[in-house]
Protein backbone atom coordinates (compact mmCIF):
# COMPACT_ATOMS: atom_id res chain seq x y z
CA UNK A 1 0.00 0.00 0.00
CA UNK A 2 1.33 3.44 -0.97
CA UNK A 3 2.23 5.87 1.83
CA UNK A 4 0.62 8.85 0.13
CA UNK A 5 2.23 11.59 2.20
CA UNK A 6 5.69 10.06 1.86
CA UNK A 7 5.19 9.71 -1.91
CA UNK A 8 4.06 13.35 -2.12
CA UNK A 9 7.09 14.51 -0.15
CA UNK A 10 9.42 12.45 -2.32
CA UNK A 11 7.85 13.93 -5.45
CA UNK A 12 8.45 17.46 -4.22
CA UNK A 13 11.94 16.90 -2.79
CA UNK A 14 13.44 14.36 -5.22
CA UNK A 15 11.79 15.32 -8.50
CA UNK A 16 10.69 18.94 -8.41
CA UNK A 17 13.21 20.61 -6.08
CA UNK A 18 16.16 18.81 -7.72
CA UNK A 19 15.05 20.29 -11.07
CA UNK A 20 15.88 23.79 -9.78
CA UNK A 21 12.35 24.59 -8.63
CA UNK A 22 13.27 26.41 -5.43
CA UNK A 23 10.36 28.85 -5.00
CA UNK A 24 8.96 27.94 -1.59
CA UNK A 25 5.46 29.12 -2.51
CA UNK A 26 5.43 26.74 -5.49
CA UNK A 27 6.75 23.83 -3.43
CA UNK A 28 4.11 24.56 -0.79
CA UNK A 29 1.37 24.52 -3.45
CA UNK A 30 2.56 21.14 -4.73
CA UNK A 31 2.49 19.80 -1.18
CA UNK A 32 -0.87 21.34 -0.31
CA UNK A 33 -2.89 20.34 -3.39
CA UNK A 34 -3.52 16.60 -3.21
CA UNK A 35 -2.40 15.47 -6.65
CA UNK A 36 -3.72 11.94 -6.26
CA UNK A 37 -7.29 13.28 -6.06
CA UNK A 38 -6.97 14.78 -9.55
CA UNK A 39 -5.52 11.70 -11.26
CA UNK A 40 -7.87 9.35 -13.18
CA UNK A 41 -8.71 6.42 -10.89
CA UNK A 42 -7.01 3.87 -13.15
CA UNK A 43 -3.68 5.72 -12.79
CA UNK A 44 -3.94 6.80 -9.15
CA UNK A 45 -1.04 4.56 -8.08
CA UNK A 46 1.14 6.56 -10.51
CA UNK A 47 0.10 9.98 -9.19
CA UNK A 48 3.56 10.92 -7.91
CA UNK A 49 5.72 9.35 -10.62
CA UNK A 50 7.90 11.31 -13.03
CA UNK A 51 5.67 10.71 -16.04
CA UNK A 52 2.86 12.33 -18.02
CA UNK A 53 -0.39 10.46 -17.34
CA UNK A 54 -3.05 9.95 -20.05
CA UNK A 55 -6.41 11.51 -19.22
CA UNK A 56 -8.33 10.83 -22.45
CA UNK A 57 -8.79 12.57 -25.82
CA UNK A 58 -5.05 12.27 -26.44
CA UNK A 59 -4.38 14.67 -23.56
CA UNK A 60 -2.06 14.15 -20.61
CA UNK A 61 -1.56 15.34 -17.05
CA UNK A 62 1.82 17.05 -17.09
CA UNK A 63 4.78 15.62 -15.19
CA UNK A 64 5.22 17.09 -11.69
CA UNK A 65 8.57 18.60 -12.74
CA UNK A 66 6.97 20.45 -15.66
CA UNK A 67 4.18 21.71 -13.41
CA UNK A 68 6.73 22.94 -10.89
CA UNK A 69 8.86 24.68 -13.51
CA UNK A 70 5.78 26.27 -15.04
CA UNK A 71 4.50 27.58 -11.71
CA UNK A 72 7.92 28.96 -10.79
CA UNK A 73 8.23 30.68 -14.17
CA UNK A 74 4.86 32.43 -14.07
CA UNK A 75 5.10 33.24 -10.33
CA UNK A 76 1.40 33.90 -9.62
CA UNK A 77 0.87 36.48 -6.90
CA UNK A 78 -1.95 37.01 -4.41
CA UNK A 79 -4.38 39.45 -6.00
CA UNK A 80 -3.69 38.35 -9.57
CA UNK A 81 -6.33 36.94 -11.91
CA UNK A 82 -5.35 33.97 -14.08
CA UNK A 83 -6.70 32.52 -17.32
CA UNK A 84 -5.75 28.89 -17.89
CA UNK A 85 -6.22 27.34 -21.33
CA UNK A 86 -6.56 23.57 -21.06
CA UNK A 87 -7.91 22.48 -17.66
CA UNK A 88 -7.18 18.77 -17.98
CA UNK A 89 -7.80 17.17 -14.58
CA UNK A 90 -7.79 20.50 -12.74
CA UNK A 91 -4.61 19.89 -10.74
CA UNK A 92 -2.63 22.79 -12.22
CA UNK A 93 -5.81 24.88 -11.93
CA UNK A 94 -5.86 24.16 -8.20
CA UNK A 95 -2.17 25.03 -7.82
CA UNK A 96 -2.70 28.33 -9.64
CA UNK A 97 -5.71 29.03 -7.43
CA UNK A 98 -3.58 28.30 -4.35
CA UNK A 99 -1.11 31.00 -5.44
CA UNK A 100 -3.30 33.63 -7.14
CA UNK A 101 -6.56 35.44 -6.41
CA UNK A 102 -8.76 33.64 -8.94
CA UNK A 103 -8.57 31.33 -11.96
CA UNK A 104 -10.79 31.01 -15.01
CA UNK A 105 -9.92 27.73 -16.74
CA UNK A 106 -11.04 26.72 -20.25
CA UNK A 107 -11.42 23.07 -21.27
CA UNK A 108 -12.74 22.03 -24.68
CA UNK A 109 -13.77 18.48 -23.70
CA UNK A 110 -17.01 18.51 -21.72
CA UNK A 111 -16.26 15.29 -19.82
CA UNK A 112 -12.83 16.53 -18.70
CA UNK A 113 -14.34 19.88 -17.70
CA UNK A 114 -17.03 18.13 -15.64
CA UNK A 115 -14.46 15.89 -13.93
CA UNK A 116 -12.21 18.87 -13.18
CA UNK A 117 -15.11 20.75 -11.59
CA UNK A 118 -15.79 17.73 -9.40
CA UNK A 119 -12.10 17.50 -8.39
CA UNK A 120 -11.95 21.21 -7.52
CA UNK A 121 -15.17 21.00 -5.51
CA UNK A 122 -14.02 17.89 -3.65
CA UNK A 123 -10.77 19.60 -2.66
CA UNK A 124 -12.59 22.82 -1.66
CA UNK A 125 -11.00 25.06 -4.30
CA UNK A 126 -13.48 27.94 -4.35
CA UNK A 127 -11.60 30.58 -6.35
CA UNK A 128 -11.43 28.70 -9.67
CA UNK A 129 -14.12 28.04 -12.24
CA UNK A 130 -14.06 25.86 -15.35
CA UNK A 131 -15.81 26.71 -18.62
CA UNK A 132 -16.19 24.43 -21.63
CA UNK A 133 -14.90 26.12 -24.80
CA UNK A 134 -12.45 25.74 -27.68
CA UNK A 135 -9.78 28.36 -27.02
CA UNK A 136 -7.92 28.80 -30.32
CA UNK A 137 -10.91 29.86 -32.43
CA UNK A 138 -14.07 29.80 -30.33
CA UNK A 139 -13.37 31.46 -26.97
CA UNK A 140 -13.41 35.15 -26.12
CA UNK A 141 -13.16 36.10 -22.43
CA UNK A 142 -14.03 39.74 -23.06
CA UNK A 143 -11.43 40.82 -20.51
CA UNK A 144 -7.70 40.75 -19.78
CA UNK A 145 -5.76 38.87 -17.12
CA UNK A 146 -2.55 39.32 -15.14
CA UNK A 147 -1.45 35.87 -16.21
CA UNK A 148 -2.38 33.46 -19.01
CA UNK A 149 -1.20 29.83 -18.80
CA UNK A 150 -1.51 27.54 -21.81
CA UNK A 151 -1.60 23.93 -20.63
CA UNK A 152 -1.00 22.31 -24.02
CA UNK A 153 1.64 22.91 -26.68
CA UNK A 154 1.23 25.33 -29.59
CA UNK A 155 3.19 25.25 -32.83
CA UNK A 156 3.21 29.04 -32.72
CA UNK A 157 1.49 31.30 -30.24
CA UNK A 158 -1.96 32.42 -31.47
CA UNK A 159 -2.06 36.21 -31.59
CA UNK A 160 -5.45 36.31 -29.90
CA UNK A 161 -3.90 34.76 -26.78
CA UNK A 162 -1.69 37.84 -26.45
CA UNK A 163 -4.73 40.12 -26.42
CA UNK A 164 -5.93 38.45 -23.22
CA UNK A 165 -2.86 39.62 -21.25
CA UNK A 166 -2.87 42.95 -19.44
CA UNK A 167 0.04 45.30 -20.11
CA UNK A 168 2.60 44.29 -17.50
CA UNK A 169 1.23 40.75 -17.43
CA UNK A 170 2.70 37.38 -18.41
CA UNK A 171 1.82 34.47 -20.65
CA UNK A 172 3.30 30.97 -20.50
CA UNK A 173 3.12 28.50 -23.39
CA UNK A 174 5.02 25.45 -24.62
CA UNK A 175 5.96 26.35 -28.18
CA UNK A 176 7.56 24.60 -31.13
CA UNK A 177 7.85 21.37 -33.06
CA UNK A 178 7.73 18.00 -31.30
CA UNK A 179 9.93 16.60 -29.85
CA UNK A 180 11.96 19.80 -29.23
CA UNK A 181 9.45 22.21 -27.71
CA UNK A 182 10.34 25.04 -25.35
CA UNK A 183 8.51 26.22 -22.26
CA UNK A 184 8.40 29.95 -22.97
CA UNK A 185 7.50 32.99 -20.89
CA UNK A 186 6.12 36.06 -22.69
CA UNK A 187 6.01 39.37 -20.82
CA UNK A 188 3.82 42.20 -22.09
CA UNK A 189 5.89 45.29 -21.42
CA UNK A 190 3.59 47.74 -23.22
CA UNK A 191 0.58 47.92 -25.50
CA UNK A 192 2.49 46.32 -28.37
CA UNK A 193 5.83 45.46 -26.74
CA UNK A 194 6.73 41.95 -25.58
CA UNK A 195 9.75 40.20 -24.12
CA UNK A 196 10.21 36.47 -24.66
CA UNK A 197 12.32 33.99 -22.68
CA UNK A 198 12.81 30.28 -23.44
CA UNK A 199 13.01 28.44 -20.11
CA UNK A 200 13.23 24.67 -20.64
CA UNK A 201 12.77 21.94 -23.25
CA UNK A 202 9.92 19.43 -23.13
CA UNK A 203 7.46 17.59 -25.35
CA UNK A 204 3.71 17.52 -24.67
CA UNK A 205 0.58 17.05 -26.82
CA UNK A 206 -0.61 20.00 -28.89
CA UNK A 207 -3.62 22.06 -27.95
CA UNK A 208 -6.41 21.32 -30.44
CA UNK A 209 -6.21 23.63 -33.47
CA UNK A 210 -2.69 24.73 -32.46
CA UNK A 211 -0.85 21.86 -34.19
CA UNK A 212 1.78 22.40 -36.91
CA UNK A 213 0.35 22.95 -40.41
CA UNK A 214 0.17 19.79 -42.46
CA UNK A 215 3.10 19.30 -44.79
CA UNK A 216 2.30 17.71 -48.12
CA UNK A 217 4.94 15.37 -49.47
CA UNK A 218 4.97 14.28 -53.09
Q: How far, in Å, CA of 95 to CA of 97, rounded?
A: 5
Residue 210, in any domain of the structure:
no
Q: For 207, phi and psi rounded to 5 degrees?
A: -65, 140
CATH number at residue 129: 3.40.50.150
Asked if 10 and 3 count as a contact pair (C-beta separation under 8 A), the reply is no
Provide the 8-state DSSP code for 112: H
Number of domains within the chain: 1
Residue 216, in any domain of the structure:
no
Residues spanned by the domain of 57: 4-202
Taking each helix axis as running N to C, give the angle between helix 91-99 and helix 64-74, from 0 to 180 degrees, rounded to the nearest 10: 30
* pLDDT tens across the length of the chain (218 residues): 679 999 999 999 999 999 999 999 999 999 999 999 999 999 999 999 999 999 999 999 999 999 999 999 999 999 999 999 999 999 999 999 999 999 999 999 999 999 999 999 999 999 999 999 999 998 999 999 999 999 999 999 999 999 999 999 999 999 999 999 999 999 999 999 999 999 999 999 999 899 998 775 55
Residues 133-172: pLDDT tens digits? 999 998 999 999 999 999 999 999 999 999 999 999 999 9
Amino acid sequence: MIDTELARQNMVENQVRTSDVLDMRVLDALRSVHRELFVPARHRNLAFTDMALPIGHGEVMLKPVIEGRLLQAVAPEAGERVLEIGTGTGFLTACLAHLADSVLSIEQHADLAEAARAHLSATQVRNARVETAEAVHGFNPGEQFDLVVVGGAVHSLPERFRSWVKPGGRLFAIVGDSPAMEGTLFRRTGETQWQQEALFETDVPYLKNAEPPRRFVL
